[in-house]
Amino acid sequence: MIPYGRQDISQEDIDAVVSVLTSDFLTQGPMVPRFEEAVASKVGAKYAVAVNSATSALHIACLALGLEVGDRLWTSPVTFVASANCALYCGAKVDFVDIDAKSYNLCPVALEKKLVDAEAQGLLPKVVVVVHLCGQPCDMQAIRKLSHRFNFKVIEDASHAIGGKYQGKYIGGGQYSDITVFSFHPVKIITTAEGGMAVTNDPKIAQKLQLLRSHGITRDPALMTHKPDGSWYYQQVDLGFNYRMTEMQAALGASQLGRLDAFVSRRHELAARYNELLDGLPVLTPWQHPDSYSGFHLYVIRLKLNELTASHSEVFDSLRAQGIGVNLHYIPVHTQPFYQRMGFKVGLYPESERYYSEAISLPMFQTMTEAQQDEVVAALRKAIDA
Ligand SMILES: *Cc1c(COP(=O)(O)O)cnc(C)c1O
């Protein structure tokens, strides 16, 4: 089976992890801050806070922006469930904004319309989580304009997008948002096994993120309510969690980060080659905005079903039967039973639902060979003819 995504682990990565295992610290040592500084400097952010998953990063990002009971968070229906669940962890309400037909990212036109309606009813969101689907950045400039006009905070869920660029600058630099979140799950662009990071340029937000990832405990006298009782002293000043990253994870991440640009440029090569190989087939290849340099976590095609006899699921199943580990990113979140129970109905976000009825993620990972890619395309031809 050719998987849809796979990590790329070098001997250097292995050596980096092994050397941590024989060091003094397995957690809360020097590697985590080193990895944080490396990511911050790579993406052009002032602060970075490493955690044990992007899901945790989204949770504490929402809390750091003050999301709480009675507040609203909006996101795209076409994302992993974590981009929406983070609101519910804070006791806030979730709502969705339909996607753009070309980029498959949250549509700024639909967002503006929904904001105008929400303002009239006094139901504006406190936070909007925009998702850079497949690694292609959202229209951040338009979204930031709306965030200033309607007074909401912006979190970039860049789980797919580390190493990608918007308007020539690395995603995560925070020109148009408050916090950016990365995932280091093994299928993503660089990995720490499990792991995530939140980056920001705001020192207050960074401080809050640091507190929340570790029980709300501080050893910094400046954050305490009174002078430390002694050198042993720490204070719990907030309710936080144990969302810490281990030293092994950070060592792996720092080592992987050194190859980030090479990983992304290899993904671009594969994408360009897919575009050529798929030319003339009844599929839509990924459209790219001119402002965007995608991280290309995913390569998603859409079937032109009116030109096909086979159905979406027949093509998908045929590919799987031929050993191609295709996937579907994503089942629109509002159609999940958990969200249906909250009152969301199928039909609410037609562009997202149309996307879902046609999309297939083809295998895409940096160690993929051209022979494997040819195999994927040959299998797709066969699946489409069937
Ligand atoms: C993978 C992913 C997450 C969650 O990442 P974890 O590190 O597995 O918690 C969140 N949002 C999106 C869009 C993702 O793809």
Q: CATH code at 298? A: 3.90.1150.10
Rounded to the nearest angstrom, the distance between the alpha carbon of 131 and the centre of ligand 1 is 10
For ligand 1, atom 6, name the residue with the nearest CA. 54
Amino acid identity at 207: Q
**Best residue for ligand 1 mutational test, from 99, 155, 159, 243 (most atoms within 8 Å of Cβ):** 159
Of 280, 256, 271, 258, give the one whose Cα is nearest residue 134.
271
* Phi, psi of 370, deg, nearest 5: -65, -35
Cβ atoms 55, 85 nearer than 8 A: yes
Instruction: Tell me: do 170 and 98 sit in the same domain.
Output: yes
Residue 367 in any domain: the answer is yes
**What pLDDT was estimated at residue 2?**
96
Write the CATH number for 166: 3.40.640.10
Integer CA distances (angstroms), 101 to 24, 26, 104, in order? 52, 46, 6
Residue 2 in any domain: the answer is no
Atom nearest to 57 CA in ligand 1: 9
Atom nearest to 184 CA in ligand 1: 7
Instruction: Tell me: do 318 and 218 sit in the same domain.
Output: no
**What pLDDT was estimated at residue 130?**
98
Cβ atoms 321, 310 nearer than 8 A: no
Atom nearest to 131 CA in ligand 1: 13
Residue 3 in any domain: the answer is no
Instruction: Tell me: do 302 and 266 sit in the same domain.
Output: yes
Instruction: Tell me: do 162 and 57 sit in the same domain.
Output: yes
Looking at 191, 225, 256, the residue that finishes a domain is: 256
| Residues within a 6 A CB radius of ligand 1 | 53-55, 79-80, 82-83, 131, 157, 159-160, 183, 185, 196
**What pLDDT was estimated at residue 36?**
98
pLDDT in tens, the chain (386 residues): 999 999 999 999 999 999 999 999 999 999 999 999 999 999 999 999 999 999 999 999 999 999 999 999 999 999 999 999 999 999 999 999 999 999 999 999 999 999 999 999 999 999 999 999 999 999 999 999 999 999 999 999 999 999 999 999 999 999 999 999 999 999 999 999 999 999 999 999 999 999 999 999 999 999 999 999 999 999 999 999 999 999 999 999 999 999 999 999 999 999 999 999 999 999 999 999 999 999 999 999 999 999 999 999 999 999 999 999 999 999 999 999 999 999 999 999 999 999 999 999 999 999 999 999 999 999 999 999 85
Rounded to the nearest angstrom, the distance between the alpha carbon of 55 and the centre of ligand 1 is 6
The pTM score is: 0.98
Q: How many domains does the chain have?
A: 2
For ligand 1, atom 5, name the residue with the nearest CA. 54
The domain of 90 spans 11-256
Instruction: Tell me: do 249 and 271 sit in the same domain.
Output: no
For ligand 1, atom 2, name the residue with the nearest CA. 159
Residue 136 in any domain: the answer is yes
Cβ atoms 76, 106 nearer than 8 A: yes
Q: Is 15 helix (H, G, I), strand (E, B) or coil?
A: helix
Rounded to the nearest angstrom, the distance between the alpha carbon of 183 and the centre of ligand 1 is 6
* Cα separation, 197 vs 298, whole angstroms: 20
